[in-house]
Amino acid sequence: MIVIKNEKEIDVMRRGGKILSMIMNEIGKMIASGINTQELDALAERLVFDNGGTPAFKGYGDEKNPYPATICASINNEIVHSIPTEFKIIKEGDLVKIDIGMEWQGLITDMARTFSVGSVSPEAHKIMNVTREALNQGISKIKAGAKLSEYSIAVESYARSNGFSVIRDLVGHGVGKILHEDPVVPNYHWSAKDIILKEGMTLALEPMINVGTHKIKLGADGWTYLTDDEKLSAHFEDTVLVKKGGCEILTR
């Protein structure tokens, strides 16, 4: 069931999204060669709690293997959901993807960014920029009365026009009352029944784009998704509010 947010809930998500964006900016400042991803997670968790929030990812999932951290910190061919650890050291030339969700005053916002570390390859630079712009292209299609597929087609078309592939097995989602609400938001054109966007819907839009094949595989930890061909991947995500004539980006 798609949840339409009221004005009070929207205001909470708006304020929570601004806090989350600030936290992401602080994480980005810390990303550098020689830093391990557990250090990034410790900073993120401290900032979430200091701002009155709760990590949305920590403890999420199967009770036999709950997600153990505040952020997902995925590097290079890791797409999403990689668990931070002191043994994963960031290096010059890496693409580092940070995904973070926060519950603030009972409502959740969710966002992700890809960061380049020092001097990266032309291919890494291109896929990072294309994925960021694919999200922007998709966001430009979000408005009350539009079809959800307009977003999906815009993202896929932009990625494909730049020679990249869009992951099909991982998608965006509604967000707010819980981390993953309806609807499912594919980043590619799909054949299922379309959805007409309504004012007050809140969506986590998140293109995940690969240099090579769109196919993916799950790592041994049961969380980390990797590109099947071990080539680079990039990820950008924002929480948006559907409005008449457009949308409001809550996490910028």
The whole-number pLDDT of residue 38 equals 98
What's the rounded Cα separation, in Å, for the pair 203 and 141?
Answer: 13
Predicted confidence (pLDDT) per residue in 156-180, tens digit = 999 999 999 999 999 999 999 999 9
Which range of residues forms the domain containing residue 167? Answer: 7-249
The whole-number pLDDT of residue 191 equals 79
The whole-number pLDDT of residue 192 equals 79
Model confidence at 190, in pLDDT bands (50, 70, 90)? confident
The whole-number pLDDT of residue 18 equals 98
Residue 20 lies in a domain: yes
Q: What is the CATH number of the domain that holds 88?
A: 3.90.230.10
Residue 230 has pLDDT above 90, yes or no: yes
Residue 193 has pLDDT above 90, yes or no: no
First CA to last CA distance, the chain: 27
Mean pLDDT computed over 52-72: 97
The whole-number pLDDT of residue 65 equals 96
Residue 1 lies in a domain: no
Residue 237 lies in a domain: yes
The whole-number pLDDT of residue 3 equals 97
Residue 14 lies in a domain: yes
Mean pLDDT computed over 47-72: 97
What order of strands is seen across the sheet that includes strand 246-249? 181-185, 172-174, 202-205, 238-243, 246-249
Residue 118: phi, psi to the nearest 5? 65, -140
Contact present, 179 and 108 (Cβ < 8 Å): yes
Packed helices 148-161 and 122-139: angle between N→C axes, nearest 10 degrees:
160
CA distances from 212 to 19, 42, 80, 106, 127 (A): 35, 33, 16, 39, 11
Q: How many domains does the chain have?
A: 1
The whole-number pLDDT of residue 98 equals 99
Longest dimension (CA), the chain: 48
**What is the token pair recorded at 81?**
């959901």
The whole-number pLDDT of residue 249 equals 98
The whole-number pLDDT of residue 133 equals 98
Mean pLDDT computed over 77-91: 98
Mean pLDDT computed over 180-206: 95
Residue 141 has pLDDT above 90, yes or no: yes
Residue 37 lies in a domain: yes
Model confidence at 123, in pLDDT bands (50, 70, 90)? very high
Residue 2 lies in a domain: no
What's the rounded Cα separation, in Å, for the pair 201 and 203?
Answer: 7
Contact present, 223 and 82 (Cβ < 8 Å): yes
pTM of the model: 0.97
Contact present, 123 and 232 (Cβ < 8 Å): yes
Mean pLDDT computed over 17-33: 98
**What is the token pair recorded at 158?**
């932009």
- Percent of the chain residues topping a pLDDT of 90: 98
Residue 199 lies in a domain: yes
Residue 228 lies in a domain: yes
